[in-house]
Structure 1
Amino acid sequence: METKITTSRTKRRSAPQTVAEFEKWLARKKTDANYEFVRGKIIRKPAMKQEELFIARFLMRAFAKTQLYQQGAEMLSEGDAYVDAFRKRIPDLAIFTDEQIKEARRGKRFMPPLAIEILSDSESQNDVLEKVQDYFDAGVQLVWYIAPKQQKIYAYSSPDDIRVFKGQDVCSAAPVVPDFQFVIEDLFKA
């Protein structure tokens, strides 16, 4: 008697290589966690910590006094920001124009003109520089990296042009949002 041996092969899914594949993977995962995607790497992005909420509140309230806000722009937290077909970032805060918000509803992908990150203890200098480069590769005009422990803002107007604001310095989002400015001390005593 002949015994027929059958083997079942489980088709193993390969790791996502594009943002589109990553987003399909993420939809299957059914999680509320945030993940960034950078050239085949899936990076879990921790949510903003409660002790950082004062920063978000201060910046959102200051932005609400600007002309750009009056024109329908918003400062949003943890929104998707698309670099290209192989990279997707999630800034802690970002300004999205009224036009971008309307285009997003129609499925268009884009990068905000201003991305704001709050430096976490787990980020290395290389992580920061890579993220800043990604933002500028996508067309961001300004990146702020806020260092709460040092009470400083590192403002990048390009990957190689950085200005550090602290104490009584006035930090300005010009030319992106010319009337969005504040004294650094005010942010950290908020």
Structure 2
Amino acid sequence: MEKAHYAMEAVIDVLSEYERERGKPMPTLNHAIIQANLIFALKLQYRQQYSIVSEINLTMPIRPDTVPDVAIYPTLKIDFLHDVTSMTAMPLTIIEIVSPSQSDAEILAKFERYFNAGVGSCWLVLPSLQAIAVYTGIGKYQFFTDTTTLTDPSTGINLALTEIFV
């Protein structure tokens, strides 16, 4: 039992402050570029219909809270006098960009939590494949490659993937 405790301490010591604070892997350059491209493309086409939010803490019904890469909400009104650090209302869509250290099981467990909390769709962005899988439930997804147009049936969003993987 004592050895397991020391092993856990060693793993915790290796995690960066970012990873400890947010509970997710440190983003890579590809991750950052794709996240910026997604936000730009979504805001360009859908800023009147939706609020596109990056790196916002979500207060989940069952702990722990989570910080998705991008969240899509119905249009939110900005209140500059009363800011929030965590959203209790779940977004319509969550976008997660896979990091090299994340496992499929870890991401699908996250998606299950999102769907159970009322999120309508989850996008799984796969940088190495230049593809996005749009989930509308666990085991229910459509796969889009970089030469196709993504369609999210829960929001009606259509997005050319050539804009994302450039």
What is the TM-score when the length of structure 1 is the normalising length? Answer: 0.66
Provide, for residues 23-78 of structure 1, a one-character-per-residue CA deviation record: whole Å limited to 9, x for no partner: xxxxxxxx963558xxxxxx7313432332221222112212345x225x422221
User: Gaps (5+ residues) in structure 2?
Assistant: 1-15
> Whole-Å Cα distance in 2 between the matches of residues 100 and 160 of structure 1?
34
- Match for residue 78 of structure 1? 55
User: What is aligned with 2:12?
Assistant: none
| Alignment equivalent of 1:59, drawn from 13, 30, 38 | 38
Q: Which has the higher helix share?
A: 2
Question: Of the candidates 73, 79, 90, which is equivalent to residue 96 of structure 1?
Answer: 73
Mapping for residues 1-190 of structure 1, pairs under 5 Å? 33=18, 44-67=23-46, 69-71=47-49, 73-99=50-76, 105=84, 109-176=88-155, 178=156, 180-189=157-166
Q: Percent of aligned positions with the same letter in both sequences?
A: 25
Q: Distance in 1 between matches of 2:102 and 2:87?
A: 30
Q: Which amino acid aligns with 2:111?
A: V
Q: Residues 92 and 106 of structure 1: is their aligned pair in 2 closer, same or farther, counting only changes over 3 Å?
A: closer
1:53 match: secondary structure: helix
Q: Give how far 1:124 is off.
A: 1.2
Question: Does the C-alpha gap of structure 1 residues 107 and 146 become closer, same or farther in structure 2, counting only changes over 3 Å?
Answer: closer
Amino acid at match of 1:168: T
* Counterpart AA for 1:182: L
- 5+ residue gaps, structure 1: 1-30, 37-42
RMSD value, Cα: 2.9
TM-score where L is the length of structure 2: 0.74
Is residue 95–residue 112 contact of structure 1 (8 Å, CA) maintained in 2? yes
Q: CA deviation at 1:104?
A: 7.2
Mark the CA change 1:149 to 1:80 in structure 2 (over 3 Å): closer, same or farther: same
- For these two proteins, the number of residue pairs brought into alignment is 149
CA distance in structure 1 between the partners assigned to 2:66 and 2:75 by the alignment: 20
Contact 2:133 2:143 in 1 (8 A): yes
Structure ID, larger Rg: 1
